[in-house]
Structure 1
Amino acid sequence: MSTTTYTTTPAPDEDPEDNVVQLRPAPPAQPGTEVEPHVFEPDEVLTAEQYEQRMRSRVPAALAGAAGTARTSTTAAALWTARTARRYGPLVGWALYRHGMYVYKGMEAKRQRKDSDREYRDIRAARARALATDDLDKVTQLTDQMRTGAHTRIEITERRLDLAWTVTKRASKAVGVGVPVALVTGAVNSLGGWLGPWDATDVLTTMGAVFTGTADTITWSADHWWLFAGTAGCNWLWRRWRDGRRLGEQALPEKLRRNGTDTVYVELTETALAIALANIGHRKLTAVIKEGWPNRDTDANAWVQPPMMDATGTGWSVKLRLPVGAPVAEVAKAKVALAHNLGCRPQELFIEADENDSTVMELFRLDPGVLREPVPPSVLLEEGATTDFFAGFPVGISPRGQVVLEAHNERNGAVSGLPGSGKTSLVLAALYGAILDPLTDIDVFVFAGNNDYEALKPCLNVVGLGDTAENVQACINHIKTLHADLAVRGELLKKHNIKSVEEGGRAVIAKEPGLRPRILVVDECQAFFRQDSAQKRKELVNLVVRFVSASRKYGYHVKFVTPVPSDQSLPRDLIAITTNKACGAIGDKLRNNVVLGENAHETGVSALGLKPKTKDSLNDVGTLVTVGYMDNPGPVRSYHYTAEQQEQLVQRALELRGGAAAQTVPTVQERDWLADLASVAGGLEKVKLADGAALLRKKAPGYHLYQGLDGKTLAEWLTDLGVPVTRPQGAHTVLTQSIREAIAAQENTTGE
Structure 2
Amino acid sequence: MNPPRPDHHRPHAQHPRDAPSMPTTEHTTAHPPVGTLIALPVLEGEIVRERGVAGLGARVVALVRAVVTSPQAVQLRAVATYRARRAPRDLIRLVWFFLRGHARWAVKGWCWATHGDLRADSRAARLVGDSEARRVAQEMIRSDGHARWAKLGHAARLGLAGGLLIAFLAGVLTLIDAQVPRAEMWPWLATLYTVLGVLAALGAWLLKAAPMGWVIAAVWEGQDRTPGAGWLIRPSREDADSWVDERMISQALAHLGITPLDRFFKNGGELTYTVPARVDGDGTYAQIRLPLGVEADMVAARRKRLAANLGRAALETWPTEGDEAGILDLWIADKGRLGKGAGPWPLLHEGSVDVFTGVPIGTTQRGQVIHGLFFERNWLVGGRPGQGKTSLVRILVLGAGLDPTAEIWVFVIAQNTDFDPLAPRLSRYAVGMGPEVAAAAVQSLADLLTEMGRRGKLLATLPGSPPATSRRLADKPALGLHPLMCVISECHELFGHPSYGAQAAKLAISVIKQGRKFGITLILDTQSPTAASIPTDVTRHVSCGVAFSVADHEANDGLLGSGKYRAGIRATELRMNTDRGTCVAVGVSDAPFELLNTFHVPYADGVDMVTPVVSRAMAAINDLRRTAQPTTNHDDQDHDGPAEVDYLTDIDQVLRGERRVRTQVVLSRLAELDPATYEGWGFHDLTTTLARHGIKPVKSRGVKSIRATDITHALTHRAPHNTTNSDHKKGI
- Give the equivalent residue in structure 1 for 2:94: none
Are residue 365 (structure 1) and residue 318 (structure 2) matched? no
Deviation of the 1:379 alpha carbon:
1.7
Q: Is residue 284–residue 325 contact of structure 1 (8 Å, CA) maintained in 2? A: yes
Aligned equivalent of 1:640: 600
> Alignment partner for residue 259 of structure 2, among 283, 302, 306?
283
- Match of 2:115, SS state, is helix
Task: Return the TM-score normalized by structure 1.
Answer: 0.51
Residue 603 of structure 1 aligns to a residue whose secondary structure is: coil
Match of residue 561, structure 1, among 488, 512, 525: 525
Supply the distance in 1 between the matched residues of 2:159 and 2:473 (Cα, whole angstroms): 85
Give the drift of 1:460: 0.6
Secondary structure (helix, strand or coil) at the match of 1:515 reads coil
Secondary structure of residue in 2 paired with 1:339: helix
Distance apart, 1:542 and its partner CA: 2.1
Larger Rg: 1
State yes or no: 1:349 paired with 2:317. Answer: yes
Secondary structure, counterpart of 1:512 in structure 2: helix
1:121 and 1:512 map into 2 onto residues whose CA distance is 76
The aligned amino acid for 2:497 is Q
AA aligned to 1:156 is K
How far residue 362 of structure 1 moved from its aligned partner, in angstroms, is 4.4
- 1:653 alignment counterpart: 617
Say whether 1:430 aligns with 2:396: yes
Q: Distance in 2 between matches of 1:158 and 1:656?
A: 85
**Residue 245 (structure 2) pairs with residue 269 (structure 1):** yes
Q: Check 1:146–1:465 CA distance in 2 against 1; reply closer, same or farther (3 A cut).
A: farther
Question: Per the alignment, do residues 113 and 165 of structure 1 end up closer, same or farther by CA in structure 2, a change over 3 Å counting?
Answer: closer
Q: Which residue of 2 aligns with 1:409?
A: 375
Query: Which structure 1 segments of 5+ residues have no match?
Result: 1-98, 125-144, 170-238, 249-263, 614-618, 662-752
Residue 286 (structure 2) aligns with: 318
Question: Retained in 2: the 8 A contact 1:592–1:600?
Answer: yes
CA deviation profile, 1:265-297 (whole Å, cap 9, x unmatched): 674233321121112233332222234443xxx
Q: Distance in 1 between matches of 2:616 and 2:503?
A: 41
Whether 2:623 is the aligned partner of 1:622: answer no
Counterparts of 1:327 and 1:658, CA distance in 2 = 57
Is the CA contact (8 Å cut-off) linking 2:469 and 2:518 kept in structure 1?
no
The AA in structure 2 aligned to 1:159 is H
Residue 540 of structure 1, CA deviation: 3.5
Report how far residue 115 of structure 1 moved: 4.8
Going from structure 1 to structure 2, the CA distance change for 1:339 and 1:166 (only over 3 Å counts) comes to same
Q: 1:162 to 1:155 in 2, by over 3 A?
A: same
Q: Which residue of the other structure, out of 337, 345, 369, is the alignment partner of 1:378?
A: 345
Deviations 1:103-158 (A, max 9, x none): 9xx89x95998253479989x9xxxxxxxxxxxxxxxxxxxx99996774352254
Quickly say closer, same or farther: Cα 1:153–1:567, change in 2 above 3 A: same
Normalising by structure 2, report the TM-score. Answer: 0.53
Q: Corresponding residue for 1:574?
A: 538
Maintained 8 Å contact 1:583/1:625:
yes
Q: What corresponds to 1:631 in structure 2?
A: 590
Change (3 A) 1:149 1:392: farther
Conserved in 2, the CA contact under 8 Å of 1:519 and 1:558?
yes
Go from structure 1 to structure 2 and tell me whether the alpha carbon gap of 1:452 and 1:336 turns closer, same or farther (over 3 Å shift). same
CA contact (8 A) 2:296 2:567 kept: no
- Structure 1 residue 404, shift from structure 2 partner: 0.6
1:629 Cα deviation after fit? 1.3
Return the alpha-carbon distance in structure 2 between the equivalents of residues 430 and 148 of structure 1.
67
Taking only aligned residues, the RMSD between alpha carbons, in angstroms, comes to: 4.2
Aligned twin of 2:571: 607
Q: 1:337 aligns with which of 305, 318, 321?
A: 305
Pairing 1:590–2:558 present: no
Tell me the residue number matched to 1:739.
Answer: none
Question: Relative to structure 1, is the Cα distance of residues 160 and 397 closer, same or farther in structure 2, using a 3 angstrom cutoff?
Answer: closer
- What are the residue-to-residue correspondences of 1:473-552 with 2, within 5 Å? 473-497=439-463, 502-532=468-498, 537-552=501-516
Which deviations, in whole Å up to 9, do the C-alpha atoms of 1:408-440 show, x marking residues without a partner? 111111111111211111111111111111111
Q: Distance between the aligned counterparts of 1:113 and 1:624, measured in 2?
A: 54
Structure 2 CA distance, aligned partners of 1:325 and 1:308?
27
Instruction: Tell me the secondary structure at the aligned position of residue 427 of structure 1.
Output: helix
Percent of residue pairs identical: 27
Contact 1:308 1:317 in 2 (8 A): yes
Q: 1:481 to 1:588 in 2, by over 3 A?
A: same
Determine the structure 2 residue equivalent to 1:744.
none
* 1:576 CA displacement: 1.0
Q: Is the 8 A contact 1:336 1:346 kept in 2?
A: yes
Letter in 1 for 2:587: G
Deviations 1:13-42 (CA, angstroms, capped at 9, x unpaired): xxxxxxxxxxxxxxxxxxxxxxxxxxxxxx
**Is the 8 Å Cα contact of residues 446 and 466 (structure 1) preserved in structure 2?**
yes
Where structure 2 has 5 or more consecutive residues not aligned to the other structure, the ranges are 1-99, 126-139, 165-217, 228-239, 626-732
Change (3 A) 1:358 1:497: farther
Change (3 A) 1:119 1:350: closer
Change (3 A) 1:388 1:593: same
| Deviation, structure 1 residue 372 | 1.5
